[in-house]
Every structure is written in structure tokens, then in C-alpha cells.
Amino acid sequence: HDTIGMLTLDQAGNLSGACTTSGAAFKYHGRVGDSPIIGAGLYVDNEVGGATATGWGEAVIRAVGCFLVVEFMRQGHDPETACRMAVERVISKNPDWREIQVGFLALSKDGEYGSFCIAPGFNYAVRTPEIDNQLFDAQSRL
Ligand code: ASP
């Protein structure tokens, strides 16, 4: 269960991304979550970087969250900062933000990566030629 997002940078410097839908979570009849909406649950611009999201999809859709993360990287912010800024945008739109969870993961064109979420508990795995599937805890606001 839960969303899985993946971001990759190949040896030629090309970025790609994918994400699953959330499995059993939030599966109401007729609901479309953020995962299948490009720009919301996933966005990749091969000139800049990619981002993927998890958490309460409605809040991610309203912020066009992953597009926002990539635009913050385009402005020169590192991936973790871009994710944090997108989380702050979600927080600003949701007075009940302490009751929800949203998290972003980002990878830049130069191979930097980072993550940020509202509440602690998310982690992500990194694999590079130097790092063999190491788990990291996402930074969080709470
Ligand atoms: N973002 C997914 C959704 O709202 C849920 C999840 O990330 O677990 O459909």
C-alpha cells in the first residue's frame, strides 16, 4: 500500500520518473489522486530535475506540488530546499496542516537529491555508484 515514487538520472544525464497510485489508501469510487496527474504527483523536466509526491493527494493537486518543486529548483534552489518550499506552500493553503501529511522527493539534473514532508515518518532510498540502497529519513516540518 501507499504511493511509491522513483526518480532516476542515467549515465547520459537524462532524468526520468515514475510513481504508483496509492493502492488501497484513499480509494473512493471515482476519486483521482495526485499520482496520475502530471505536475501534481510527478513532474520531470530534463533540463532541471524531477519531483514526486506522497501523502494527501488533494492537497498536492491544489498546490500543483511537483511542478512547483521543479520550478523552485529551476530558480536555483537545491532539491531539499525546493521540497521544503513546496511543503510551505501546501501548509499555507491548509489551515489544518498539522492533521495532514504531504511529502516531496526531488532529484536535480546534477544528481543532488532531497526530500521534505510535513510530519516525520517518511523515508527514501538512494542508489548511486557510491551508495548501495541507503535509506534516509525525510526532513519534516513537525
Ligand atoms: N498521494 C496518494 C493519493 O492521494 C496517496 C499516497 O501517497 O499514499 O492518492
pLDDT tens profile 54-64:
999 999 999 99
pLDDT at 140: 96
d(CA 9, CA 13): 6
Q: Which three cell numbers stand for residue 113?
A: 537529491
Write the DSSP string, 6-46.
EEEE-TTS-EEEEE---TTTT--TT---STTSBTTTEEEET
pLDDT at 1: 65
Beta carbons of 36 and 21 less than 8 angstroms apart? yes
Q: Would strands 102-108 and 49-55 be described as parallel, antiparallel, or unpaired?
A: antiparallel
- Indicate whether 22 pLDDT > 80: no
Angstrom CA distances, 69 to 30, 43, 80, stand at 27, 9, 9
Atom of ligand 1 nearest to the CA of 2: 8
* Distance (Å) from CA 91 to ligand 1 centroid: 17
Average pLDDT over residues 31-48: 95
Residue 123: which residues within 8 A CB-CB, separation 6 or more?
135, 136, 137, 138
What does the pLDDT look like over 75-134, one tens digit per residue? 999 999 999 999 999 999 999 999 999 999 999 999 999 999 999 999 999 999 999 999
List all residues whose CB is within 6 A of at least one atom of ligand 1.
2-3, 22, 25-26, 33-35, 41, 54-57
Q: Could you identify the residue written with the cell 492537497?
A: 59
pLDDT grade, residue 10 (50/70/90)?
Answer: very high
Return the sign of the alpha-carbon dihedral for residues 98, 101, 107, 112: positive
Which residue type occupies 89? Answer: R
**Model pTM score:** 0.96
Q: Is 21 a catalytic residue?
A: no
Atom of ligand 1 nearest to the CA of 55: 7
* Mutation probe of ligand 1 site: the residue of 19, 29, 34 with most atoms within 8 A of C-beta: 34
* Distance (Å) from CA 12 to ligand 1 centroid: 31
Which residue lies with its CA nearest to atom 9 of ligand 1? 33
For residue 92, count CB atoms less than 10 angstroms from its CB and return exposed for 0-12, middle for 13-18, buried for 19 or more: exposed
Atom of ligand 1 nearest to the CA of 54: 7
